[in-house]
Structure 1
């Protein structure tokens, strides 16, 4: 039953005094304790309002259960003094009498246990977390406690337990058979779980979070709260986000958080979600033949979930969300820059959203004719300049497969390339960490920019980058590998004194630790040493030569300035003529 109907049934059962033991069961986190608190607060019956509560989590004896209920009665006495006035008076009288006999009875626990029947008589006792009791506490002891207080002391008992957390099903079966008069099983709906969760953890993104929580089928209220917190943490206190941006970031954040906190039964793993890149991932629905294995069926179900959420591809944003979920930390600056970029590029986000919807129609809307599908594609192609290179590749490939769609496919590619060139980038990196398909024309544009940038990168630029970033990239590696002895000598002779100081310090460090860098920079260290040797031997620049010799000496690598020893060639022995051949001049 849903939370609403279960609550109504429980209220009805509580009006029947003959129903002594009521069990409220359901999955962990579905709001059983929350629902009971609502029933208690809304009740008009004083006994229900003053119900005593005890969690059996870790309880190893019946005495501990009684003490927890007694502690609860102290709180209830403050809230409902009239209900507990007689008990309080009996408690005080008994304490004085027992203290007169033996001062040892002054301990609250000892006295409380003796007075438990009086304190708990004719009360509503709520026992929660039965499945989490200590193994030392046997189920027979719990049954005995319930039987004693319901039959001898007129109490009523409400059992709250997570039946999916019971390690031993016989515990639940024994309770059901021996003591339970009426059982209610709570099946909280996703909308009910969200309504409770959003009250506990408010969010300005509630309207966008709710449908995605419901699509993921999350019914655990605790997990709903964690998902909402994740969205709040990632999006921060931004005043507003456009529909396209929210459609981009909220579904994947909700899904990844729901997976991480185990809110989805048989959920896809992070790797499966991150692998979503193009409609080619939907091959199973496009006629590809695969064996009907259990794994194949699971992946088909996961693809349907992703499609329902509108997640067709993943990029750096999803990677950052996963890193945050796994570590509790995230690169605030990078994430903020990503979301700021999404906001600034709202038009591009809208284009991406329309493109994704076109992908969906191309897969699912079988009612459209091929001509109608091309008509749907026309406005998408018009905004192809605003989508990323991987989506542009996918759009081209999908259109090219539709009869008559090659013209639109080429137009989409042309618009993308034209817009890319207009940006006049000095360098561009694909960052294709997920290995997605990229059209050769698009890849060629990136390669052309990087080749141009590479040609303009000097050995000094590469070294400067390494100094400032404590690392290097492909461009710096190539620049170092291709640097000649002449390049190094020219750099040393022409750079400013300030730049020379940094350049020499870094290159001397590389030479001193050549083994750690040779795989990255090849012959750069050898060529640098050869250039320095030439300068040190040049009598026309004695002061620079002296400086270089001093620097190499300080770095303990003076031997690199010594001329290379020529290889020793063994003397060739005179050949002995063969006996049957005449000697020269004979």
Structure 2
């Protein structure tokens, strides 16, 4: 049933004072409550609501009929202020109106009393008497308290219609457990039952009013992924509203990337736990050029399906700006200076990419054809790389190197690594693999080795003592720390352990030896532990007392 049909039936229902009960059923999250309130407000603005009073009631946590009745009374507002939440003032007006029916003396007593719900238990007892000719919306039927039975709710709904001449709307989730009594008694109670099953485009139209310039593009993106959950659609809109001031001064492609990525990541983050066909966010952000068919990573059938989904959405590669957006999806806020920084970098790349000889244009020779054009692809990328390497990220370098090597162009692959280093050597942070390879996308050993060499030459290395002072007692260290420790000789470890005294001595030794205790230690980590062990064996061999001192670290006396 289309949203337009639903809307027309709601308007028809509201424009009559004939007592009726309407049920609106639909899956959780598709916007039943959101749409009801939206259509109700529109009808109010167009003077199409016949009854003069309205009450919205959520049954969430309500455990008795008395509480249910009183909540209806408590939430009544006049037709003219539909869209305004019930408040102390509306409660005062309702109670004053009720007391007027008992005479002037009762009114004077009430007006002098504090507004406390339980100031007079009689108010609760008689409040339901005032509920007549009222439009009532009852939401969250399936979330009622355990002590309140659905058959009793429906019984009260029937009474409201038959004896109180009310119009009642029930909003409920289709397919939820615990609604058996609804199915059993609906024939006796429900006059109109609407099935609220909007398609993704209709859900986007409900969530996005069209008042913002980006709403059209946003509807296109969310519909592409078949997002129907209104809460998720609104979360996406909120994040884009927050992002626009951060990227508005850049090329329009930046905002489009932000929108494109936030829609995908939000859908993935909030929906993949309940739908195995939706790629998890970690999968998306950790895949680089594998999504383009470059590299030898083995993937299972499920991951193949995820890749097909990403390709259909035209998502090709995760860059540093995307990683900032992923964190925003998880946390609900942007680290503004980081987003601006990455947007500036990407903006320069986009400006460069608009030239005819750009790197992006050269990659089109690979993406956009099935022609047997390996030589053309290699030469185009090679020449473009030399011209544009100032705007190319390490991840893009790695993808190009990998492609060259897979097509048998090892020499050119090595050459572009060297060209990249020669042109960008002064950007020291660019070659820090600990910072720029968080997700392990860069796996080519030649790239890693050459980057590490550049970084190590540019950044003064600490001594083993300085590293151990900093990392002792902590849960981990970075690659630069390991580089220092693996390049420390047995003699240097011997002198270091002999020179230290007090608590530092034990901390230094245990930190070095723990590298062999990792579940899958690398060759480098094993070597650190081995050299420290050899130094301890030398110390143990010096005297009987040192044998015993070394033993407590797990170094065998026999081996000393």
Normalising by structure 2, what TM-score? 0.69
Cα pair distance change 1:507/1:222, threshold 3 Å:
farther
CA drift at 1:314 = 3.0
Is 1:133 the equivalent of 2:144? yes
Aligned position for 1:418: 419
| Aligned counterpart in structure 1 of residue 505 of structure 2, from 500, 511, 516 | 511
Pairwise mapping of residues 66-81 of structure 1 onto structure 2 (< 5 A)? 66-73=69-76
Relative distance call for 1:430 and 1:229 in structure 2 (3 A) is same
Q: Does 1:226 align with 2:229?
A: no
Aligned to 1:167: 177
> How many Å apart are 1:346 and its aligned residue?
3.7
Cα distance in 2 for partners of 1:132, 1:272 equals: 35
Separation in 2, partners of 1:460, 1:372 = 48
CA 1:6–1:566 in structure 2 vs 1: closer, same or farther (change >3 Å)? closer
**Cα distance change on mapping 1:441 and 1:400 into 2, 3 Å:** closer
Which residue does 2:100 correspond to in 1?
Answer: 92
Q: Kindly tell me: are residues 400 and 369 of structure 1, through their superposed partners in 2, closer, same or farther at Cα, counting changes over 3 Å?
A: farther
State how far apart, in whole Å, the 2-side matches of 1:458 and 1:78 are: 70
Deviation at 1:278, TM superposition (A): 2.0
> 2:260 aligned with 1:251, yes or no?
yes
CA distance in 2, matches of 1:461, 1:514: 8
2:309 aligned residue: 305
Q: Distance in 1 between matches of 2:204 and 2:183?
A: 31
Q: 1:171 to 1:319 in 2, by over 3 A?
A: farther
Q: 1:179 to 1:372 in 2, by over 3 A?
A: farther
Separation (CA, whole Å) in 2 of partners of 1:8 and 1:214: 24
Q: Per-residue CA shift, 1:138-167, capped at 9, x if unaligned?
A: 122112112222122322211122225x22
> 1:541-566 deviations in whole A, cap 9, x for unaligned?
xxxxxxxxxxxxxxxxxxx9xx9549
SS at match of 1:150: helix
Question: How many pairs align?
Answer: 498
Match of 1:114 among 97, 105, 126: 126
Q: Identify the residue that residue 382 of structure 1 maps to in structure 2.
A: 384
Measured after TM superposition, the shift of residue 338 of structure 1 is 3.4
SS at match of 2:271: coil
The structural deviation recorded for 1:360 is 4.8
Cα distance between partner residues in 2 of 1:435 and 1:208: 33
Kindly report which structure 2 residues correspond to 1:316-327, keeping only aligned pairs within 5 A, or say none. 321-323=325-327, 325-326=329-330
- For structure 1, list consecutive stretches of 5 or more residues without a partner in the other structure: 493-503, 531-559, 569-586
Alignment of 1:545-564 (within 5 A): 564=542
| Greater gyration radius | 1
Listed as ranges, the gaps of 5+ residues in structure 2 are 85-92, 516-527, 547-560
After superposition, the C-alpha distances for 1:10-54 in whole angstroms (9 at most, x for unaligned) are: 213444666711112223333323333333423524534633322
Change (3 A) 1:54 1:452: closer
Q: Aligned with 1:127: secondary structure?
A: strand
Deviation by residue 1:53-110 (Cα, 9 ceiling, x = unmatched): 2222222222222212212335559889xxxx9997674132669899xx9x995653
What does residue 551 of structure 1 align with? none
Q: Please state whether the residue corresponding to 1:25 is helix, strand or coil.
A: strand
Say what the alpha-carbon RMSD is for the aligned residues: 5.2
| 2:158 equivalent in structure 1 | 147
Whole-angstrom CA distance in 2 between matches of 1:136 and 1:411: 75
Structure 1 counterpart SS, 2:75: helix
Determine if contact 1:488/1:527 at 8 Å carries over to the other structure.
Answer: yes
TM-superposed CA distance for 1:518, in Å, is 2.9
Task: Summarize deviations over 1:209-235 as a string: whole Å, max 9, x none.
Answer: 443322222222222122233345567
Structure 2 SS opposite 1:382: helix
The Cα of 1:322 is off from its aligned counterpart by: 4.7
Tell me by how many angstroms 1:508 deviates.
7.9
Q: How far apart are the structure 2 equivalents of 1:514 and 1:348?
A: 50
